Amino acid sequence: MSGAEPQHIPSELTAVFRDAFGREPSGVWSAPGRVNLIGEHTDYNRGLCLPMAIPRRTWVAVAPRRDRRMRILSRQVPGERTIELDGLLEGNRGGWAAYAVGVLWALEQAGREVRGLDVVVDGRVPLGSGLSSSAALECAVAVAAVDVLGLPGYEGDEGRRDLAAVCVRAENEVAGAPTGGMDQSASLLARADEALLLDFDGDHPPVHVPFDLASHGLALLVMNTRAEHSLDDGQYGNRREECVAAVAELGVGSLRDLRPRDLDEVVPRLSSDVLRRRVRHVVTETERVTQAVAALEADDFDALTALFDASHASMRDDFEISCVELDTAVETARAAGALAARMTGGGFGGSAIAIVRDELVGEVSRAVTAAFSRQGFRSPELFPVTADGPARRELQAP
């Protein structure tokens, strides 16, 4: 089971839209959540990361309006919101709806001619679980907006990269979450059965890396700890600021200018132990992404084991973004026979991933659930995933 989405979502969403707004939507669009295989907090440091889309998607039914207003409701949150596009940054940004209306705002900032939208959202990416429900919402609204407003398209990686940049601005400047570009790129550019190698040092096209664990009798298990997680509570931004401070102290262009072999010489120049550890994480993590791609290309799962272990330890000890639930999930999965495991996403809660032999998926899942129960944590949500396709139109109105 890959956790594929139920077939009935588009027709159900269309019915909800009809009930809410008394008219037909122009269509239904969806965009995936993601897991990052390796390369954490590297995107805003001009580094590398290796996400893939997961078959948990955010779905939107959308129709254009004549005015400059977004009316939106989500099946995950009570209440309908109405937000004016004019004066958005000074006025009401609509709480969670900022992720959606922010996309219209950012499209306009990018020189596109926009109008309002009526939107119904059904998010099947668990919210706030490190699986990027925020980018899935932005990217679903973005592809829908482009289609219904007749804007320049998102065919090919080029157009999709432009749209990813729009969604990043929406998240940073309207929703106020200072994330890098990994999540939006994954949701718009990922392809089925492939991971996406992203290089944030300049304007590099994405590299699509075959990722087919199934042919090796392996599964990728997502372990959503359901521990409190929020990227806009300051922790994420704090790490980002520390990286900016380290770059300033070192007088480099970005942390990408450093290689692991430079660390012994460079790190002592930093003013605090905290900054030394932050830099060590970012620099070694980008190196591990390159090595992980090589390991995948060579089907070298022993190498991947070592890289996942080192990555998790680096996030736990140097970048300090793990938590007891994530550590428990990773350690328990490894002890129960997972080939490799690490936390994924921004951290401070959220999800971990494990590469597990097909026949051990049940056993590893039971072991993690039991460990959480013993420690009195909330029950985790565990599900295997395959690499899914990008944001797309799902249904065109007749």
Which residues of this chain interact with ligand ADP, rule CB under 6 A? 58, 74, 76-77, 96, 99, 121, 123, 127-134, 137, 177, 230-231, 345
Question: For ligand ADP, which is the closer residue by CB, 304 or 380?
Answer: 380
Question: Of Mg ion, ligand ADP, none, which one does residue 258 interact with (CB within 5 to 8 Å by kind)?
Answer: none
Q: Pick the catalytic residue from 43, 122, 147, 183.
A: 183
Using CB under 5 A as the binding rule, whether residue 369 contacts Mg ion is answered as no
To ligand ADP, the closest distance from the beta carbon of 137 in angstroms equals 4
Q: Which of 330, 336, 380, 357 is nearest to 219 (CA)?
A: 357
To ligand ADP, the closest distance from the beta carbon of 222 in angstroms equals 12
Question: For Mg ion, which is the closer residue by CB, 104 or 137?
Answer: 137
To Mg ion, the closest distance from the beta carbon of 93 in angstroms equals 16
Question: For ligand ADP, which is the closer residue by CB, 258 or 390?
Answer: 390
Closest-by-Cβ residue to Mg ion is 134
Question: For Mg ion, which is the closer residue by CB, 103 or 336?
Answer: 103
Told to judge if 212 belongs to the known catalytic residues of this protein, a careful annotator would answer no
Choosing from 26, 134, 322, 369, the residue that interacts with Mg ion (CB under 5 A) is 134
To ligand ADP, the closest distance from the beta carbon of 276 in angstroms equals 28
Strands across the sheet with 392-396, in order?
77-84, 69-74, 117-123, 51-64, 27-36, 392-396
Question: For Mg ion, which is the closer residue by CB, 193 or 232?
Answer: 232
Pick the stretch among 128-136, 151-159, 236-244, 359-367 that binds Mg ion (CB under 5 A): 128-136
Closest-by-Cβ residue to ligand ADP is 123
**Adjacent-strand bridge partners of 98:** none
Active site residues: 183
